[in-house]
Amino acid sequence: MYFIGVDLGTSSVKILVMDDKGQILSTVTKDYPLYFPKALWSEQNPQDWLEQSLVGIKEALLGLETSKVKAISFSGQMHGLVMLDSHDNVIRPAILWNDQRSIIETNYLNEEIGIDKLTSYTGNIAFPGFTAPKLLWVKENEPENFAKINKVMLPKDYLAYKMTGNFATDYADASGSLYLDVESKTWSQDMLEILGIEDAVLPKLYESYASIGTLSEEVSLYLGFDHEVTVTIGSGDQACAAVGGGVVSPGRCSVSLGTSGVVFVHSDTFIKDPNNGLHAFCHANGAYHLMGCMLSAAGSLKWWVEEILKSNDYDHLMDYAEEAKLDNGLYFLPYLMGERSPHNDPHARGVFWGLNLSHSQGDMTRAVIEGVAFGLRDSFEIVQSLGQEITEIRINGGGSKNDFWCQMIADVLSTKVVKLETDAGPAYGAAILAAVGSGQFESVKQACDTLIKTTDSYMPSETQAIAYDKKYKSFAKLYPALKALFPEV
Residues identified as active-site: 237
The CA–CA distances, whole Å, from 235 to 16, 34, 71, 434, 481 equal 15, 22, 15, 11, 39
Torsion over CA of 101, 104, 105 and 111, rounded to 10 degrees?
A: 150
Residue among 93, 91, 130 nearest 293 (CA) = 130
| φ, ψ at 442 (rounded to 5°) | -80, -25
Torsion sign, CA atoms 474, 475, 478, 483 = negative
Looking from the CA of 457 toward its CB, the CA atoms found within 13 Å total: 9
Question: Can you give the C-alpha Rg of the chain in angstroms?
Answer: 22
CB atoms closer than 10 angstroms to residue 114: 12
Residue type, 391: T
Question: Would the annotation count 78 as a binding residue?
Answer: yes
Question: Would the annotation count 294 as a binding residue?
Answer: no
Enumerate the known binding-site residues.
78-79
Enumerate the known binding-site residues for substrate.
78-79
